[in-house]
Amino acid sequence: MSQKKEAAIVGIYEYPSRKVEGKISPLQIKAACAAQALQDAGLDWSDVDGIYDAGEGSQMSGLSISEYFGINPSVINTTNVGGSSYEFHAAQAKRDIASGKVTVALLTYGSTPHSNAVAIGVGSRSGSGLDPVSNLESFSGMTLVANYAMAAGRHIYEHSNTREAMAEISVVTRHHAMRNPQAVKAMQDLGFLDIRETSIEDVLKSRMIADPLRLLDCCMISDGGGAVVIASSEVARNCRKKPIWILGTGEATKYPEYKSDITSSAAVESGPRAFGEAGISPREIDIAMIYDSFSITVLCLLEDLGFCKKGEGWEWVADGRLRYDRASDGPALNTDGGGLSSNHPGMRGIFLLIEATRQLRGESTSQVAGAGLAIAHGNGGMLGSRHSAGTIILGSD
């Protein structure tokens, strides 16, 4: 199957600080990242004709951010589906470019939950009005971390999953984080204790948060942001660095249903769509950037994306096979350190695209030799209940 190379990631930038202490706003973070990503691509603000924004920086985000950046885009997209928003944006930008509506798309993210002391995982997920969340869950005290703990407990019961398997994911991502100076600095700035590579025993002995999830099973809460520039093939081939092509995309959603499997995610739909469009299979992937809000998130998503069969993930991830220097076992997982050990400002999807691009350019701090294909998969919402799934397959020339 011939792959269509209609749109490519040509510019990336990740905001270096995970702790800004109110010195800079989310909108300022977005602008700083956008400027650097455009410079990375060798493009200018005037080249941008598509804005893709999840609304975390300001009200009326598509309008206000265009004014703040000083551009007049022909397409404004304000899709917000949680942590997978940026995978949705990448897919939608690809379609807009293919249709001729956009030539250069700009995706930006900025958030300061650490500086604002936002308790992302322990607060209620509903607003003040009546909605499916408040009507069915909030009255019982369901929080985000409790929801993921519920999914983890069910996975252990249903599939004989082990605590050691989930710990393996935390250990691998910390292994990669310790090679990433920005991730190490993040842990220092955020007050992590005993910053070093961890063991399965370390994870299993860390403080219980929501049974069976322990502290080292949970993502950090940081400030941060980033930007991604996506361009048409005509523009991409003349940019500063080699284009990283968007080969396949998939989007899906899932809601609570009677007798539904809470360990199965919408990735079972978005994954095959993306792989089918790209004309490849999971076994060909070199880099897997998988949304890691919690260790159980990764385990379920790896299964649902087809890297292994449902219920076999706990055996498949064992013995360090997901490390960057074991590419023959493949794929390497979250080589920047992930949300568990590098950054998680609330919606982490843009960082999956950024690190996947670094890998395919040969610029990662945990570089996989000869990496040619990567997947960036975002999960937005809550795994055990309503959530979105965005899958992007990337490849280099």
Phi, psi at residue 199, to the nearest 5°?
Answer: -115, 170
SS3 239: coil
Name the stretches of the chain with pLDDT < 50: 1
CA atoms of 388 and 82, how far apart (whole Å): 8
Per CATH, the number for 7-116+221-396 is 3.40.47.10
Domain ranges of the chain: 7-116+221-396
Long-range CB contacts for residues 70-74, cutoff 8 Å, separation at least 24: 70/45, 71/45, 71/46, 73/48, 73/49, 74/49, 74/50, 74/101, 74/102
| Buried residues in 40-66 as b, exposed as e (16+ CB within 10 A) | bbebeeebbbbbbbbebbbeebbeebb
Instruction: Return the DSSP state at 210.
Output: E
pLDDT of residue 330: 79
With 0.85 as the threshold, say if the pTM is over it.
Answer: yes
pLDDT of residue 232: 98
CA atoms of 62 and 52, how far apart (whole Å): 7
CA atoms of 154 and 166, how far apart (whole Å): 13
- Judge whether 282 and 309 are in contact, CB under 8 Å: no
pLDDT of residue 326: 87
pLDDT of residue 23: 85
Closest C-alpha among 306, 310, 309 to residue 377: 306
pLDDT of residue 136: 63
Instruction: For residue 166, give the amino acid letter.
Output: M
pLDDT of residue 1: 46
| Buried residues in 335-372 as b, exposed as e (16+ CB within 10 A) | bbbbbbbbbbbbbbbbbbbbbbbbbbbeebbbbbeebe
SS3 367: coil
Instruction: For residue 65, give the amino acid letter.
Output: I
Phi, psi at residue 230, to the nearest 5°?
Answer: -120, 135
Dihedral class, residue 63 (left if φ above 0, else alpha if ψ from -120 to 50, else beta)? alpha
pLDDT of residue 130: 58
Q: What is the dihedral of CA 360, 179, 295, 190, to 10 degrees?
A: -120
Is the sign of the CA dihedral 114, 87, 288, 266 positive or negative? positive
Instruction: Provide the token pair at 69.
Output: 């950046």
